[in-house]
Structures are given as structure tokens and as C-alpha cells.
Chains A and B, each alone.
Chain A
Amino acid sequence: MFEVALSSLWSRRGSVLLTVASLTISMVIVIGVEHIRAQAESSFVRTISNVDLLVGARTSQINLLLYSVFRIGNATNNIRWESYEDIATRSEVSWSIPLSLGDSHQGYRVLGTNLQYFEHFRYGDSQELQFSEGQPFSAVLHAVLGSGVANSLGYELGKEIVLSHGIGNTSFVNHENLPFTVSGILAPTGTPVDRTIHVSLQGIEAIHLGWQNGAQVAALGLEPEDPRLEDLQPTQITAMLLGLETPMAVFGLQRAINNYPREPLTAILPAVALGELWQIIGTLEGLLSIISILVLTASLLGLSTMLLSSLRERSRELALYRAIGARPSFILLIIELEALSLTLISVFMSYLLVVAGLALTQSWLSENFALVIEVWPTAPSIWLYIGGAIAASAALSLIPASIAYSRSLGHVLRSA
């Protein structure tokens, strides 16, 4: 019976191949969209972990999350260094990481921070940052590269880099007087850390001496060997990450920071903000899923149409099965089997196409978008979609199959 169905399909390979192509493409869309959605969600939720509070200047929860964690957009305002020290030394606070953003190198964001960052920053399932080469910065003009930066710019330890003022791929204002030396390169994390260049807060301070409001007003730059570099004190930062002694203290401290008397601040719970942000993105993804399901439905209808229109040319073949003793159910099964074979072939091919496509673009995606996408789609929802597609093809091809069935009930002996 399989032989009959497959040979029959092969004998009509022209229209069959077109149908398989259409089904395959739509399955690629379905599997691809669902896989990237699932991966993006997990990659998204993995960006930051174990941080109890994220503090920035007064702004919206999502904006703070975007600029401080995802390095998207800009801070509306800064936090004074005194406020940071004040909050960081509170008794509830176990550790704190200051973050200072605003400069870039070749389009990659530069993050000013301190050594706490390498000690306390966590992503994924509480994973620590690992160095693939080198070590954290030990001098003011040292830099630690995320793996994506090092990879795509081809930088190695000891490389001197010049930071640019502001963000963007092409900045006309460079801090050329103070080049930084690469002291370490981090292992890949699949988070925005991969696209970040980390330097010390003093380093950030150093390159901005003599700058006001984004313009160089005095040529009072420092030289790399200047002993004053070590004594620099940061005056402001963009945001801070706080880890608390006890999780119970989160809401109390959050309220205290939100009502901070000396300057307007916002403290958010990263997990809550991530969830809220994901909901916004999730709506778009729901839409994508719906579109991919509609595309698949159209292809499955195309499959049914192909089978239905083949019934006319196959009337004598189907009559012959009956004449040599086949039951009408055999006719029904043959058509169903043909539909299912085509769907299975398409599912198989589309899966391989998605895998091949991702294998080819994986490094590009991770370098350019810090999207770490697994090559093999294994999310449960994907199996659900595949199962659904097979079930739907069986259901939709019942239309031609039952038409063939009811025709074969009648007088079928005359095949000439």
C-alpha cells in the first residue's frame, strides 16, 4: 500500500513536487518562527539574573531595563556618584555594580564599571562571567571585551582601542588621547554582554576630563602615563545593579529608592520588568505565529486541491483497484496516505532547512544581535506545531479522500 501511494505520487511528480515545495516553505516559516520565538524568549529571560534591584535616574521601568541591560537607547539622566555610594553602603545591600554608559567603539557600547561586575554579574541560570582569555582590568586604561566584540573586530589581548564619544557606528568625536588596552576577553554568554566593551569607571572619567555637554571645551587631556589617572573619582554613573542580603528587603529598599530625597531615582525588579517587556514583544510574536499558521493552512488546502484535481485523471486507476477487489476504504486510505507522505516529507525537509539555515547564520546572529539561537529546534511547541500540521493535513485531505471514496461506491467496473 505504501508502495502504491508512493509510486502514484512519483508518477505525478510535477504537481506533487510543487505541492511539497509549498508545504515545505510554509513549514519552514512555522518551525522557524516558533523556534526563534522560543529561543528569543529564553535568551531574553537569560540576559540578567540574581539581581534584586536595578536603579537608574527617574524613568519608566522598561526604558531603564532597555538602556541599562539591553544597551538599547539612552539614559535620560545620570545618578550622582554620592547617591550610588549612599545606596551601596546601606545595610540591606550585599553587593552593588555601578554602570556607566554613553561611549562606544565601532558601534559597540562601552560600559564603565568596577571589578564587582566580574564578581557578581550573573546571567542565564545564575551563570558567572568567564574569561576566555586574560583577566579583569587592573589599570585605568584597560578594557575587557565581550566575546562578540572580540570575534567580529578580530581583537586580541594587548590591542589598543580608541573609544568614541556618544553611540553609533560612526562617531566623529574620538577620545584619541587615551587609548585603552585589551586586558581580557569574556567567554560567550548569549546576552548583550557579548557586544559590550567593559572599562573601569575611572577610565570613563579620564576620557571625559575637559568635556562638557558632549563637546571638548578644553584641551586639558591627560596622557596615558599621567599619575593622576589613578586618583580619578567618578562623578556620575548611569545605573546600578544591587544584590541584597535578604530578598525580603527588596520592596522596602525599592520604595526607599523611589522616594530618594536627594535626586529622583527609579528602582525596578529586573524579573518583573523583563516579564512586562516580554509581554509587549510577545504580542508581536503571537501575530507572527498566527500568520505562519495561516500560511500553513493555505499550503495544506493547496495539498487537498492538488489531490482533488488528481482524482479526475485517476478515475480509471481508482476504478481498477475496486475491480480487482479493493474495498472503498482502500481508496480512502490511498489518498490519505499520499497526503500524509507529502506532509511528512515536507516536515522533514523543512526541519532540515531550518537547521541548515540556522547553522549558516548562527554566528552572524550572535555577533550582530547577541541572539544565541540553538541550531536544532527542540521546543515542545515545535513538536506540537508539527503534530498539528500532520493532523491538519490528514483532516483536510479527508475532503478529496471522501470524495474518491463515495465515487468508488458506485458503478466502477467499466474502466475503459
Chain B
Amino acid sequence: MSIISIENMRYTWPKSESPALDISGLSVGQGETVFLRGASGSGKSTLLGLLAGTLTVQSGTLKVLDTELSSLSPRERDSFRANHIGIVFQQFNLIPFLTVASNLRLAGSFSGEPRRDFREKSENLLQALNLDLGLLQRRADTLSVGQQQRVAIARALINDPELLLADEPTSALDTDTRDTFMRLLMSIRDVSDCTMIFASHDRSLMKYFDTEIELSEFNRVKKGKSSRV
């Protein structure tokens, strides 16, 4: 089963005349870790937005877990995102004024199913990410950037998503922290078999991944105009 399958998909930003993304075909299988490479403005974030269902394609098909996202109602897409997709951003991954535990619980609550093993689950994730359990009661904005990014992974995985999207999650980290982060990110595959799409322009991270997708090779839109990202 392919986790992601894209055919003749085209996306144009509102108020823009030319499309930002035009992909004839792209497919990602289950459990794959994909390095999505592309320069700034190449449409990486747009593609992630489409995969997460916060944007919807205007033509063609984009299926995640065999579900055509554009056929879902907005409400179903939000619920789909909560249950099946975890997202890690470059920064601002956590609600700063909530504790780590509350951040995890909030993400868990959007899945629509209260988890009984929630506490155990979050503790397991923190341990897998080499984080002290004492952090659970700390406010998110009191954590270091490296800690915040690792909690962000835990947050993204709390609902056992099939797909993890990461949008330049290391660009706010220095080299050492970045390497730790990458090792831990890869080690989560021991506890989760999720598929991973990792968008970055940093080629040095490529070595961690099974597959590499150079977006400009798939995107038929010529660069240099309508780059709104």
C-alpha cells in the first residue's frame, strides 16, 4: 500500500495566476523515510500543506492512506489530520504557555478518542526521545530549543500517525543539537512504523533517509515566479 500517491496534481494559490505545484506522479510507500529536498520557494511547504490537508488541490488526485483528501469535508480533513498525520515545524511547535504534558494531551484530544494509556504513551515517547520525564510539568517555553523540537516529535506521534511530516525541523538548531535530533528522530522508528516526509534544503541530512525526492524534478512549474512560500 502506498501511503502517498499523487497523480496529475495541480495547486494554485488563491489570487495567483500560475500554479505553484504541478506534479504528474509521486508515490511513497509505507514505512519509507523520504528526504524532500528543494530550495526555498520550491514548493516544499505547499506540498506539505496539501499532504496535511490544510490546502486542497484544485485538480488531479492526492491520496494519503488511500484517502482522497479533497473529497473529505473540512471537518473530516481536520479529524483525519489529527488521527493520521503528525507534523513537526521549524519552530513554534508547542503552545508556549502550556506545560509539556498539556501540549501532548491537547494534541491527543483532537483525535476524538480519549486514550486511557495516554500517560504511559507520553512517557514512552519522551523516554524514546531521551527526554527527562520531569519536563512534563514544565511550561513549553521554558525548554531549550533542542528540547522543544524533541517534544514536538513526541507531540506529533502521540496519536500514532501513519505519516509524519517534518518541515525544516532542524533549521533552528545548531550542528550538535541537529545531529542529536536527527538520530533521535530516526530512532523513533523503533517505536513507530510511520512513514516520514522530511523537507529540508540541507543536503547533509540526506544520509539519514531511505529515499530522496528533489522537488524541482517532480514539479513541472518553472521556478522564479509565483514563489509565495
Inter-chain CA distance A416–B74, complex, in Å, is 23
Q: Using a CB-CB cutoff of 8 Å, which residues 1-37 of chain A contact chain B?
A: 1, 3-4, 7-8, 10-11
Indicate if the CB atoms of B155 and A324 lie closer than 8 Å: yes
Cβ contacts under 8 Å, B167 to chain A:
413-414, 416
Inter-chain CA distance A10–B94, complex, in Å, is 17
Query: With A7-B97, A413-B45, A413-B48 known to touch, is A323 a contact of B102 (CB < 8 Å)?
Result: no
Indicate if the CB atoms of B54 and A323 lie closer than 8 Å: yes
> Does chain B have a CB within 8 A of A327?
yes
Of A90-98, A277-285, A314-322, A373-381, the segment with at least 4 beta carbons within 8 Å of chain B is: A314-322
A4, A317, A323 — most chain B CB neighbours (10 Å): A323
Q: Using a CB-CB cutoff of 8 Å, which residues 362-416 of chain A contact chain B?
A: 409, 411-416
Indicate if the CB atoms of A416 and B95 lie closer than 8 Å: no
Indicate if the CB atoms of B107 and A325 lie closer than 8 Å: yes
Inter-chain CA distance A5–B229, complex, in Å, is 31
Indicate if the CB atoms of A413 and B78 lie closer than 8 Å: no
Cβ contacts under 8 Å, B89 to chain A:
320, 323, 414-416
Query: With A324-B87, A415-B89, A416-B90 known to touch, is A4 a contact of B95 (CB < 8 Å)?
Result: yes
Q: Using a CB-CB cutoff of 8 Å, which residues 176-225 of chain B contact chain A?
A: none
How far apart are A232's CB and chain B's nearest CB, in angstroms? 83
Q: Given A8, A325, A326, which contacts B97 in the complex, CB threshold below 8 Å?
A: A8
Cβ contacts under 8 Å, A317 to chain B:
92, 95-96
Which chain A residue lies CB-closest to B86?
A324
Indicate if the CB atoms of B110 and A324 lie closer than 8 Å: yes
> Does chain A have a CB within 8 A of B49?
yes
Indicate if the CB atoms of A320 and B48 lie closer than 8 Å: no
Q: Using a CB-CB cutoff of 8 Å, which residues 65-79 of chain B contact chain A?
A: 74-75, 78-79
How far apart are B70's CB and chain A's nearest CB, in angstroms? 15
Query: With A325-B110, A412-B54 known to touch, is A11 a contact of B79 (CB < 8 Å)?
Result: no
Cβ contacts under 8 Å, A10 to chain B:
97
How far apart are B141's CB and chain A's nearest CB, in angstroms? 9
Indicate if the CB atoms of A323 and B87 lie closer than 8 Å: yes
Indicate if the CB atoms of B52 and A323 lie closer than 8 Å: yes
Which chain A residue lies CB-closest to B107?
A324
Inter-chain CA distance A224–B129, complex, in Å, is 101
Indicate if the CB atoms of A325 and B79 lie closer than 8 Å: yes
How far apart are A368's CB and chain B's nearest CB, in angstroms? 50
How far apart are A13's CB and chain B's nearest CB, in angstroms? 10
Indicate if the CB atoms of B107 and A416 lie closer than 8 Å: no
Cβ contacts under 8 Å, A316 to chain B:
92
Q: Using a CB-CB cutoff of 8 Å, which residues 82-137 of chain B contact chain A?
A: 82-83, 87, 89-98, 102, 106-107, 109-111
Cβ contacts under 8 Å, B156 to chain A:
324
Indicate if the CB atoms of B78 and A325 lie closer than 8 Å: yes
Inter-chain CA distance A320–B110, complex, in Å, is 12
B54, B94, B111, B167 — most chain A CB neighbours (10 Å): B54
Indicate if the CB atoms of A326 and B110 lie closer than 8 Å: yes
Which chain A residue lies CB-closest to B81?
A325
Cβ contacts under 8 Å, A323 to chain B:
52, 54, 81, 87, 89
How far apart are A322's CB and chain B's nearest CB, in angstroms? 7
Cβ contacts under 8 Å, A327 to chain B:
74-75, 78-79
Cβ contacts under 8 Å, B32 to chain A:
none
Inter-chain CA distance A416–B89, complex, in Å, is 7
> Does chain A have a CB within 8 A of B55?
yes
Cβ contacts under 8 Å, B75 to chain A:
327
Q: Given B54, B93, B98, B111, which contacts A411 in the complex, CB threshold below 8 Å?
A: B54
How far apart are A312's CB and chain B's nearest CB, in angstroms? 15
Indicate if the CB atoms of A325 and B168 lie closer than 8 Å: no
Inter-chain CA distance A326–B229, complex, in Å, is 23
Cβ contacts under 8 Å, A320 to chain B:
89, 92-95
Indicate if the CB atoms of B168 and A322 lie closer than 8 Å: no
Inter-chain CA distance A327–B54, complex, in Å, is 11
Q: Given A8, A322, A414, which contacts B78 in the complex, CB threshold below 8 Å?
A: A322
Which chain B residue lies CB-closest to A6?
B97
How far apart are B100's CB and chain A's nearest CB, in angstroms? 13
Indicate if the CB atoms of B91 and A3 lie closer than 8 Å: no
Inter-chain CA distance A323–B102, complex, in Å, is 16
Cβ contacts under 8 Å, B90 to chain A:
416
Query: With A11-B96, A320-B92, A323-B89 known to touch, is A411 a contact of B49 (CB < 8 Å)?
Result: yes
Indicate if the CB atoms of A411 and B97 lie closer than 8 Å: no
B75, B83, B97 — most chain A CB neighbours (10 Å): B97
The 28 listed contacts between A and B (C-beta, < 8 Å) are A3-B102, A4-B102, A4-B106, A7-B97, A10-B97, A11-B97, A317-B95, A320-B92, A320-B95, A322-B54, A323-B87, A323-B89, A324-B81, A324-B82, A324-B155, A325-B79, A325-B107, A325-B110, A325-B159, A327-B79, A328-B74, A409-B74, A413-B48, A414-B45, A414-B229, A415-B92, A415-B93, A416-B92
Known: A8-B97, A413-B167. 8 other contacts (CB 8 A): A10-B97, A320-B89, A325-B111, A328-B78, A411-B55, A413-B55, A414-B45, A414-B89
A→B interface (CB under 8 Å): 1, 3-4, 7-8, 10-11, 316-317, 320-328, 330, 409, 411-416
* 3 closest residue pairs by CB, A with B: A325-B82, A11-B97, A325-B110
